[in-house]
Amino acid sequence: MEKQNKNFKIIGHVDNVSNYYNIFDICLFASRWETFGYTLVEAMNFNLPILSTKHIGNKDWLDKFDISQFSITKKKKFKELIKKLYISNPPKKKYDLSMFDYENNCKAVTSIYKKILVE
């Protein structure tokens, strides 16, 4: 049986996302499937320690960052990770998000199309 805990809140969609990220201690992403995981990048932008599942949307880049990973099917390990983070009260982290730079990615895609169209 799952227990409720007053320290966890599931809030759904919000428009003023920075108001929430600024008060979070950590971010937990327990997705079974997600296309990309923009919320994960937002949490990284706010320097939060993160626990995340690996899924189709982040499997190609998640290992490039210092993010604690867990399997959604392994409840014991998941619980241990949460306890560890709670006890250690980890500091904010700085992530190198250059791989998500919008302008650089647009230039790379444009370069690929130019190469295809010219050849």
Neighbours of 56 (CB within 10 A): 13
Q: Do 82 and 51 form a contact (C-beta atoms < 8 A)?
A: yes
pLDDT of residue 79: 85
What digits encode the pLDDT tens for the residues 40-62?
899 999 999 999 999 888 999 99
pLDDT of residue 39: 86
Among 53, 92, 58, smallest CA distance to 71 is for: 53
Q: Can you give the pTM of this predicted structure?
A: 0.74
Collapsing DSSP to helix, strand or coil, 7 comes out as: coil
pLDDT band at 11 (very low <50, low <70, confident <90, very high): confident
pLDDT of residue 1: 46
